Structure 1
Amino acid sequence: MTFNELGLDHELLKAIETLGFVQPSPIQEKAIPVLLSGERDFVGLAQTGTGKTAAFGLPLLQQLDIFNPTVQGIILCPTRELCMQITKDLQVFAKYKGAVHIVPVYGGVSISNQIRDLKRGAHIVVATPGRLLDHIERGTIKLNTVRFAILDEADEMLNMGFQDDINDILSQTTKDKHVWLFSATMPKEVEQIARKYMNNPERITIGKVNATAENLEHQFCVVSAKDMNKVLARFIDYYPEMYGILFCRTKRDTQELANKLMKDGYNVDALHGDLSQQQRDTVMNRFRTRNIQMLIATDVAARGIDVNDVTHVLHLNLPDDSENYTHRSGRTARAGKSGISLVIINSRETGKLRSLEGRIGKKFKKVMVPTGKEICEKQLFSLIDSINNAEVDETAVATYMHKVFTEFEKFSKEELIKRLISVEFNRYLKLYGKAPDLNLSDTSKNSDRREKREGTQERTDVSNELFINVGAMDVNDKSGFLAFLCDVSGVSGRDIGRINLKDSYSFFGVEDVEAANKIIKSLNGEEIEGRKIRVEFSGGAGSVNSNNSNNKGGGSGFKSKGRGFDKNKQRSGGRDFNRSSGAKKNYSRGR
């Protein structure tokens, strides 16, 4: 089937032809005819990178009345990056449609420019939930004319704590609108949204629900926890053409690992919630233009990233749930291309890996950590390939060739080749010539188990409600509080239950004890504006009020244990974290 057979108008087909597209992807082929009818609500389940933007964007553009200047369609998405990407794609699709006004609204930038753009008129508003609510409260956007409400990456929005915001937004639209929901997975929270706001929706699933792409190879290797960073460096060196994303649990792990790899000469950078919007944009632009080989990111920061041709997704430890893994690995193997998702785990996580295999219906292939000899061989032939494929500018080099030949005439052909490859190759020989085998032996497994037994015993026999001396003065609202917990501790948003947010402290539920212990371990000992964060099971919280007088003060400049992080000084890695004293960290809506 071609796009010409889907019922799209001439202007849209012309734009598609200009882009070089002929055949629709499976989700486009199934969704576009249904959505063009304008008669049904719709649920579309498909992996990231399968063309969902065109699947909902083309039918939406075709059904606009461009002579009506009111907002006719809203598209909600989880992140600024995805918001900008959707806007860009729609503008390309609408190239021949006339004056279609598409306005993106998202947090982290000045709201005044967005207000100015909205006053000029908008047919479509592409928004993050929090910033859209800000505009609604200011009266700069009215939703009573919306005919189409689209939720893109719905599972990600709910996982980031936007459920209340989405409910607030949809409740202000008219009952006769159509809701189109697109998601990679279908957790119960997404199902609840569908039941509440959709009327007998058409449901289309491409592939299996909650599954990963078919052209994605899932790999794992088991190593000692103390060797994780060395193992990661070996895989980067073993794949010279790697263009990947590495996921870490917390902001601190992300930045520290990026700093170490950059110090060791690797072309990487970090992406996490402590970066300003300008810093984040700079990192992403460098990654998109391949000036960075690997992006090291937290789950929260990487949501909505849409970058072509990513070859590898790497995970240092397993994520907490299968949906998180699906979204992480969905950064590669997009648009029909192949990719590798590699999980680097210690021996204690093998059971968790088997459970993940069952939930996503995929078998992970065990791979070995490359040996020093294998890396040297791979780098040698990568260098040879570079020489073979080098483009020679005959005119530019002609001036120098006589002198070059004179300098090299004393060498035989064999000697010259040896010296040529040694210029680059010697550093790998020096680094890996005597490198030990890092693959985990049975002895290493027993050692890992001993380390676990001898370590601190975690609490497992108590209630799962936690107390924390962080409140509304620090994180603004429940969405910000949830994002703060997930970003700093690395737990999933679905692990967090009811949140009771007070002024200077909070109580919150946690689904299981393991996640609760992880939160306690991650946050205790951190600081927020010079005040130590305290997290504990609520049964042992003691007298909350007696401590509040010393817990005043906004902001959230985190200080890692023993590291000393001053938010007004430049951090290692060359980033300037210069925020005004006392300002609240951006854990509010519209992240």
Structure 2
Amino acid sequence: MKFNFAALGVSGVLAAKLAEHGIEEPSPVQQETIPLILEGKDVIARSQTGTGKTLAYLLPILQSIEPELKATQKLVLAPSQELAMQIVREAQCYMDSDMGVLGLIGGAAVKRQIEKLREHPRLVVGTPGRVRELIALKKLKMHNISTIVVDEVDQIFQLGDAGEVNQIINSALRDRQLVFLSATINEDIRAMASREMKNAAAVGIEPERVTAAGLEHYYFVCEERDKADMLRRIVRTYNPRKAIVFVNMTDTIGELEAKLNHVGLKTAALYGDADKVTRATVLSQFRADKLKLLVATDVAARGLDIEGLDMVIQFDPAPDSEHYVHRAGRTGRMGRKGTVISIITDRERFIMNKFSRDIGEDIRERMLQNGMVIEPGQTGVRRTAPAKPKAEASRPGAPAGGRGMKEESRPAAADSGRKQARPPARKGGQTQNGLKSKSDRERDRKNKGAPKWLKEKGQKPE
């Protein structure tokens, strides 16, 4: 049975805007979540990355905003600056401009954000640290906020922001609505949900599957010192439109970025310590296809939706299976195909085996040989056009190709236009047939009676 957004309770205005962006049929998580949020229920939703969770909560909270109430009414928390600003851009596509949406992220000027809050944006999207800071300064008013959404809630817990999220929730009214979303839900999240939510509705889309169905998972094995070259060969062989390359330590980013640019692969880096402007510029260039590769730490692993990203490469193995899931989730979004590749050393094979068991996916080994991707044990032979036979090859003893041919095997016609060399002069003025010329005989006659030293001098070659 096919669903449409109108059947889920989405307004005609929003449905029309969705159609303008080519979205006419809701995804499974949207089918389950949108009606629950519109009813005002607390929701804890788990679904694979890239399944449309952002619109699953954005559409109902935008629809429930009261335009005439000039106050902040909805709050969305995100673990990273990049995800927060992506949500802001998504909201701007579907909401009326006079209602306003504001991003509150670290690294930006607080004074500027305070000025924007005076304009009463109906929706605020921010990182927990900056939101809590503005609440403490009494610049972000919480008494009119009716819905709080925590996106990628497991990442927020891993980053140690659970305490700040708890303070933000407690600063709102007791009858506010809470929505938690992520691809993975652990016991700590469930405990917080049971403590803060009232009769929460649980949404689990294919709980046995944690990665998108359209992904292919591979790993390549090499020595540690050869990983950068293996990365280059993988990119050259697969030739993705663009790819994210994940590393675990910021110390290696600069060197890897320089090596990739040196071999002609347009690359830039994205990491948490970079300033806000640099991170925004790099992401903008990557989205606009001005970069082939984005070398990033896990700051880029959560929630980012990059059009045309058909490959994720893990230069360093993910720290755990949850990080693997969220890195992999940057590609293969909304039913598209994608490839996830890990580059490991031989002693790290057990990590791939563990991830395969944890996520329930077959992560297969591949090799590069003769410019082809092959399975271990196969022989990779690059297909080329057959060489044209040489005329000399039919002659017994003739060399197989022109490079090894001897000089005398050339056809005589090859030298037809060359000037013939003069035969070397023989000792004593003799010609090639042993007879003296007339001029030589005349010189000898004149030299009769000359001193011996003069005769010998005349016979020396010049």
Alignment of 1:68 onto 2:72:
no
1:19 is matched with which residue?
21
Does the 8 Å contact 2:102/2:116 carry over to 1? yes
Inter-CA distance 335–380: structure 2 relative to 1 (3 Å threshold): farther
CA deviations 1:392-412 (Å, max 9, x no partner) are xxxxxxxxxxxxxxxxxxxxx
Alignment of 1:270 onto 2:269:
yes
Does the 8 Å contact 1:248/1:296 carry over to 2? yes
Q: Given residue 297 of structure 2, which amino acid in structure 1 is its aligned partner?
A: T
Does the 8 Å contact 1:221/1:343 carry over to 2? yes
TM-score, normalised on structure 2? 0.78
1:482 is matched with which residue?
none
Does the 8 Å contact 2:301/2:330 carry over to 1? no
Q: Given residue 10 of structure 1, which amino acid in structure 2 is its aligned partner?
A: G
Q: Given residue 61 of structure 1, which amino acid in structure 2 is its aligned partner?
A: L
The partner residue of 2:32 within 24, 30, 33 is: 30
Inter-CA distance 277–112: structure 2 relative to 1 (3 Å threshold): same
The 1-side partners of 2:219 and 2:301 are apart by 21
The 2-side partners of 1:280 and 1:359 are apart by 32
CA deviations 1:219-243 (Å, max 9, x no partner) are 1122222221111111011022341
Displacement of 1:306:
2.2
Does the 8 Å contact 2:240/2:311 carry over to 1? no
Q: Given residue 290 of structure 2, which amino acid in structure 1 is its aligned partner?
A: N
1:4 is matched with which residue?
6
Inter-CA distance 53–303: structure 2 relative to 1 (3 Å threshold): closer
DSSP 3-state at the match of 2:155: helix
1:89 is matched with which residue?
90
The within-5 A match list for 1:49-64 is 49-64=50-65
1:368 is matched with which residue?
367
The 2-side partners of 1:173 and 1:163 are apart by 16
DSSP 3-state at the match of 1:335: helix
TM-score, normalised on structure 1? 0.61
Displacement of 1:88:
1.5
Does the 8 Å contact 1:317/1:346 carry over to 2? no
Inter-CA distance 119–353: structure 2 relative to 1 (3 Å threshold): same
Displacement of 1:259:
1.1
Does the 8 Å contact 2:152/2:302 carry over to 1? no
Displacement of 1:379:
12
CA deviations 1:264-285 (Å, max 9, x no partner) are 2221111123322111122111
The 1-side partners of 2:7 and 2:52 are apart by 17
Does the 8 Å contact 1:15/1:93 carry over to 2? yes
Does the 8 Å contact 2:80/2:299 carry over to 1? no
Displacement of 1:329:
0.5
Q: Given residue 56 of structure 1, which amino acid in structure 2 is its aligned partner?
A: Y
The within-5 A match list for 1:131-142 is 131-142=130-141
The 2-side partners of 1:62 and 1:71 are apart by 14
2:47 is matched with which residue?
46
The 1-side partners of 2:208 and 2:171 are apart by 30
Displacement of 1:114:
1.1
DSSP 3-state at the match of 1:249: coil
Inter-CA distance 373–216: structure 2 relative to 1 (3 Å threshold): closer
Aligned residues: 379
Does the 8 Å contact 2:312/2:327 carry over to 1? yes
The within-5 A match list for 1:246-257 is 246-257=245-256
Moved more, 127-136 or 82-91: 82-91
Q: Between the two proteins, what is the percent identity of the paired residues?
A: 32
The two structures, once aligned, show a CA RMSD in angstroms of 2.2
Does the 8 Å contact 1:75/1:150 carry over to 2? yes
CA deviations 1:293-316 (Å, max 9, x no partner) are 111111135444321221111112
Q: Which runs of 5+ in 2 are unaligned?
A: 375-379, 389-462
Q: Given residue 26 of structure 1, which amino acid in structure 2 is its aligned partner?
A: P
Q: Given residue 156 of structure 2, which amino acid in structure 1 is its aligned partner?
A: M
DSSP 3-state at the match of 2:50: coil
Does the 8 Å contact 2:49/2:303 carry over to 1? no
Does the 8 Å contact 2:154/2:185 carry over to 1? yes
CA deviations 1:333-388 (Å, max 9, x no partner) are 0011010111111111112221111110111121112434779998999xxxxxxx
The within-5 A match list for 1:150-229 is 150-208=149-207, 211-229=210-228
The 2-side partners of 1:110 and 1:283 are apart by 20
The 1-side partners of 2:14 and 2:366 are apart by 46
2:258 is matched with which residue?
259
The 2-side partners of 1:171 and 1:366 are apart by 49
DSSP 3-state at the match of 1:91: helix
Q: Given residue 186 of structure 2, which amino acid in structure 1 is its aligned partner?
A: P
Displacement of 1:325:
0.5
DSSP 3-state at the match of 2:367: coil
Does the 8 Å contact 2:237/2:371 carry over to 1? no
Q: Given residue 89 of structure 1, which amino acid in structure 2 is its aligned partner?
A: E
Displacement of 1:214:
1.0
2:240 is matched with which residue?
241
Displacement of 1:194:
1.0
Does the 8 Å contact 1:248/1:254 carry over to 2? yes
2:392 is matched with which residue?
none
The 1-side partners of 2:336 and 2:366 are apart by 21
Q: Which runs of 5+ in 1 are unaligned?
A: 382-413, 415-591
The 2-side partners of 1:36 and 1:379 are apart by 58
The 1-side partners of 2:346 and 2:53 are apart by 38
Does the 8 Å contact 1:186/1:210 carry over to 2? no
DSSP 3-state at the match of 1:142: coil
Displacement of 1:317:
3.2
1:505 is matched with which residue?
none
1:551 is matched with which residue?
none
The 2-side partners of 1:80 and 1:380 are apart by 49
Displacement of 1:20:
2.1
Alignment of 1:78 onto 2:79:
yes
